[in-house]
A = this chain, B = another copy of it.
C-alpha cells in the first residue's frame, strides 16, 4: 500500500484514539508512505479536510498522549452516506479525492451506522473496479455491534460506570438516620442495555452494589418499580438504582417521553434525556421519599483518565489488524474479536463480512437478565469483568491529565 486514510465516526469513546495509534504504528511498520486522517470523518473528507498524521504522531511521547486522549482526536461526524442511486456525485467525489491523494485503503472507526458507510463504499468500489479497499474498525461504548465478542470503548465505559457507581453508592449511604434517599442513576444506551448492565460491577467485597438495574431490553413497569422502591425503603437506609436512558413501558413509549419533548438526530434516532429525572419526580410524588437523579452523561464515554488498559490495548490491536487486512487486499470487512473458550481471557482477531454487521444491533441476551430481582446474572459478569482490567494512568501536568489535540 502506498498511502492510507483513517477516519473516526459516531459517538466518541475513551479509546477511539488508541485505534488510530495502532493503525498508524502498524502502517509505518509495513512501510506505508502517508497515513492520512479525515478531520470530522467522511463529512470532513468530502470537503477534503485531511491531515497527515506524521505531523502529530512522529514521537513516542505524542503516541503516549494520543492513547490517553478521550474523544475523537481527528474529529467525528454523524453523516449518513446516501445510497449511490440517490447521490452518484458524492461517490464520484469520494473516489476523486482518494485518487488525488493516491490512497489505497480507507479505514473507518465506528459503530453500526459507520459500518454502513464501509459497506456502501466497498460495494461501490467492487462494482466499479476501484482499487481502494475499505475496512471497518469496531468502536462503540454501546457494545451493540454483532458478531464481535465486544467492542473497543465498552470496557472503559464499563470501568467508569462501575467506579462512579461505587462512589455514588458511598455518597448516598452517608445519611442514614431518616428515610432513605433514592438515587436514580441514568446510563447511556438507547436500545441495548450493555452500559447499564455494567452497573452490576459496582457490587464487590467493599460495596453493597446497586439495588436494581433496568435495561431497555425489558419493558419497564412504573407501578412495579414504585412498589420495589417502597419495599426497599422499608429495609434500607440508602437506595441506588441504575436505569438505561432508553427504558420503555410495555407500549414501547420511552419513560423520558412521559415528561419531555422528543427530538430526533440525523439518523432518525430519538434523542433521549431525562429518564432518571422523570422517574425521580414520579417516585418523589408517589412515595414522599427524597429522590435524586444523576446522569452519567458525556463523562461515561469521555473519561480517559479511568480507561481500561485491556480496552486500550484491544483498541490499538483492532486498528493494527485493519491495516494488516487492507495490506492483504481485504475489503468490505470489519475486524472482529473472538473470545477463546475454556481458558484464561484471550482474544483472537479476525475479519467478518461487513454486510452482516452494518445496521445490526446486538442486545444483552435475555438469559443474562434476572427480571425477578432486576439484576444481571453470573454469565454477564464473567463476560464483562475481563474487559475492565488494568489501568493506563494519565500523564498529569500541573495537576490535570494531558491530552494530544489538533492544532
Tell me whether chain A's interface is mostly helix, strand or loop, or mixed: mixed
Which residues of the partner chain B approach A391 to less than 8 Å between Cβ atoms? 393, 396
Interface-side segment among A108-116, A228-236, A293-301, A362-370: A293-301
* CB pair A177 B399 closer than 8 Å: no
Q: How many residues of A contact B (CB 8 A)?
A: 74
Which residues of the partner chain B approach A76 to less than 8 Å between Cβ atoms? 174-175
Which chain B residue shows the least CB distance to A12?
Answer: B174
Which residues of the partner chain B approach A389 to less than 8 Å between Cβ atoms? 398-399
Query: Is A187 an interface residue, CB under 8 A from the partner?
Result: no
CA distance A172 to B302 in the complex (A): 10
One complex includes copies of this chain to the number of 2
CA distance A46 to B206 in the complex (A): 28
Interface-side segment among A26-34, A65-73, A85-93, A216-224: A65-73
Which residues of the partner chain B approach A79 to less than 8 Å between Cβ atoms? 177
Query: Is A159 an interface residue, CB under 8 A from the partner?
Result: yes
Provide 29 A-B residue pairs closer than 8 Å at the C-beta atoms, listed in order of the A residue.
A12-B170, A12-B174, A43-B177, A69-B170, A71-B170, A77-B177, A159-B400, A162-B399, A163-B305, A164-B299, A166-B400, A166-B401, A167-B304, A167-B305, A168-B299, A168-B302, A170-B405, A171-B298, A171-B301, A172-B298, A201-B400, A204-B397, A205-B397, A206-B403, A207-B405, A292-B298, A306-B306, A308-B399, A389-B398
